[in-house]
Amino acid sequence: MSELLESHTSGNAHVDELVRKGYEHGFVTDIETEVLPPGLNEGVIRAISARKQEPAWLTDWRLSAYRHWLTMAPPEWARLEIAPIDFQAISYFAAPKKNLPKSLDEVDPKLLETFDKLGVPLHERARLAGVAVDAVFDSVSVGTTFKKELNAAGVIFCSFSEAVREHPELIQKYLGSVVPAGDNYFAALNSAVFSDGSFVFVPKGVRCPMELSTYFRINARDTGQFERTLIVVEDAGHVSYLEGCTAPMRDENQLHAAVVELVALEDAQIKYSTVQNWYPGDEDGKGGIYNFVTKRGDCRGARSKISWTQVETGSAITWKYPSCVLRGDDSVGEFYSVALTNHRQQADTGTKMIHLGARTKSKIISKGISAGRGQNTYRGLVKVEKSAVGARNFTQCDSLLIGKRCGAHTFPYIEVKQPSAIVEHEATTSKISDDQLFYCLSRGIDEENAVSMIVDGFCKQVFKELPMEFAVEAKKLLEVSLEGAIG
């Protein structure tokens, strides 16, 4: 610990040395990775900030978040069983060791190979699909494509670190403006130690010419990953952002606590789609990612719109409530979710729709699928403040049970302070019935395909909100995730 504190004062060379010591912890891929030794204290935070050559205000911001975090306790209200997390056993920084490449040609071929195995459309497929990819390997971005075309449109899409260097005024203006540093336990932790992530800025009147996609992957052992994503869309701008994740097999639990902030100004539209498939642990619940995410969008301007679509099939534990603050009059918030839990997976997920502006509208479509011994909870808040004259909400919350040992739970919270508001809530719970299965079998469709077809049908309302290539991926993901769920 004292070594680390010194490292801050003695500069980067010493940090590098400390970082090199980290090798004794061993690595999974052959790529040399720089890792800070496990542990969390102000020295580590200063080291991260120094390593990334951040301005003093950002170091201070991290430190105040850390100090706040120390006063907080992990949330216990979720319907989750979480083994205590030893935050001192986690290493808070990992980066590919070599100098950051300026183009894909400079990217370590081994890394590209890994991406290939994961099916990440980094070069050819990305080009074919017209998707710009800002690939995050561990904690630092290593390659960005389509920069030029985006530049021409005036869109900024880069790693968070780069944004701190190149666009500090934007970061300073918007960072923490949607999710304050001390918002909740995990957001505070992220604010203190976030490593990297993505930054998107769409200026006034610009429609982003392509869908933006970032693939995250957790690779280094025992390295908690703390991404920070910030998307700002100015007046009448549009952007669609896709986030997809996979992770290889791992025995240790890995902590993941991301923060995503979206800001939509007047008439702006943001569509944020996630396919999350981190390692869920084995059939007995051993291993798997702990996924504690704070995602929030601020419809700051009138007539703005933020739409969240998520397909959550991975992680041992998912704690995630992508929310919308509907501040601008006539602004619109949407949440479409498919959450699947199999084996011993647990998910407590939903959304918050906070209606502040007049005639604000929100729509929630949640589909929970439980199989094996999975536990799936929908938790959603619809809050209509007095100012939200004529606000409307529609919530539909459906659960599908596969087998007899899983659970589905629904906790809708509704707070309405404006009498003209209309809030509707519908909920159903159903099982894949023997009748449905036999009907498919008797037509020649085998059991595995029958189940995946029935589940796909159940999720249709959400899948149709996903961009095309994601919808295909999501369907496959559900098939894979449900393997062995029946029989």
Please choose, from the candidates 162, 193, 18, the residue with its C-alpha nearest in 3D space to the C-alpha of residue 9: 18
Q: Contacting other proteins (CB under 8 A), which of 106, 457, 472, 480?
A: 457
Q: Contacting other proteins (CB under 8 A), which of 28, 89, 441, 472?
A: 441
- Residue 275 CB, shortest distance to other proteins, in Å, is 19
How many of the chain's residues bind other proteins (CB under 8 A)?
23
Q: Name the token pair of 73.
A: 């306790």
CA distance linking residue 372 with residue 368, whole number of Å: 14
Helix axis angle for 2-10 and 12-21, nearest 10°, is 140
- Residue 429 CB, shortest distance to other proteins, in Å, is 13
- Residue 372 CB, shortest distance to other proteins, in Å, is 20
- Residue 234 CB, shortest distance to other proteins, in Å, is 38
Q: Which helix H or strand E contains 295, and what residues bound it? A: strand 288-299
Q: What share of the chain is helix, strand, coil (3-state, %, to 5)?
A: 30, 35, 35
In order of 50, 138, 229, 256, 435, the CA distances from 311 in angstroms are 36, 22, 18, 17, 27
Is there binding between residue 427 and other proteins (CB under 8 A)?
no
- ∠ CA 106-110-111 to the nearest 5 degrees? 70
Q: Contacting other proteins (CB under 8 A), which of 9, 103, 420, 433?
A: 433
Please choose, from the candidates 267, 330, 323, 269, the residue with its C-alpha nearest in 3D space to the C-alpha of residue 294: 323
Is there binding between residue 53 and other proteins (CB under 8 A)?
no
- Residue 358 CB, shortest distance to other proteins, in Å, is 35
Q: Name the token pair of 267.
A: 């008439």
**What residues numbered 87-126 form the site for other proteins, per CB under 8 A?**
none
Is there binding between residue 458 and other proteins (CB under 8 A)?
yes
Is there binding between residue 18 and other proteins (CB under 8 A)?
no
Is there binding between residue 459 and other proteins (CB under 8 A)?
yes
Q: Which helix H or strand E contains 448, and what residues bound it? A: helix 447-463
H and E: helices and strands count for the chain: 13, 23
Q: Of 381 and 440, which has the nearer Cβ to other proteins?
A: 440
Q: Contacting other proteins (CB under 8 A), which of 84, 444, 468, 487?
A: 444
Is there binding between residue 454 and other proteins (CB under 8 A)?
yes
CA distance linking residue 429 with residue 450, whole number of Å: 19
Q: Of 233 and 478, which has the nearer Cβ to other proteins?
A: 478
Is there binding between residue 434 and other proteins (CB under 8 A)?
yes
Is there binding between residue 472 and other proteins (CB under 8 A)?
no
- Residue 438 CB, shortest distance to other proteins, in Å, is 5
Is there binding between residue 453 and other proteins (CB under 8 A)?
yes
- Residue 398 CB, shortest distance to other proteins, in Å, is 9
Q: Of 300 and 475, which has the nearer Cβ to other proteins?
A: 475
- Residue 380 CB, shortest distance to other proteins, in Å, is 21
* Contact in structure between 371 and 404 (CB atoms under 8 Å): no
Is there binding between residue 460 and other proteins (CB under 8 A)?
yes
Q: Where are the alpha helices (DSSP H) in 71-146?
A: 109-118, 124-129
- Residue 446 CB, shortest distance to other proteins, in Å, is 5
Q: Which stretch binds other proteins (CB under 8 A): 164-172, 282-290, 299-307, 455-463?
A: 455-463
Q: Contacting other proteins (CB under 8 A), which of 461, 469, 479, 486?
A: 461
Q: Contacting other proteins (CB under 8 A), which of 41, 449, 467, 486?
A: 449
Is there binding between residue 435 and other proteins (CB under 8 A)?
yes
Neighbours of 84 (CB within 10 A): 6
Q: Of 129 and 453, which has the nearer Cβ to other proteins?
A: 453
DSSP 11-26: -HHHHHHHHHHGGGG-
Q: For tokens 């369907």, what's the residue?
A: 475
Is there binding between residue 336 and other proteins (CB under 8 A)?
no
Q: Where are the alpha helices (DSSP H) in 355-406?
A: none
CA distance linking residue 308 with residue 260, whole number of Å: 11
In order of 3, 218, 362, the CA distances from 384 in angstroms are 51, 38, 10
Is there binding between residue 292 and other proteins (CB under 8 A)?
no
Q: Contacting other proteins (CB under 8 A), which of 41, 396, 429, 436?
A: 436
Residues found near other proteins in the complex (CB under 8 A): 433-436, 438-447, 449, 453-454, 456-461
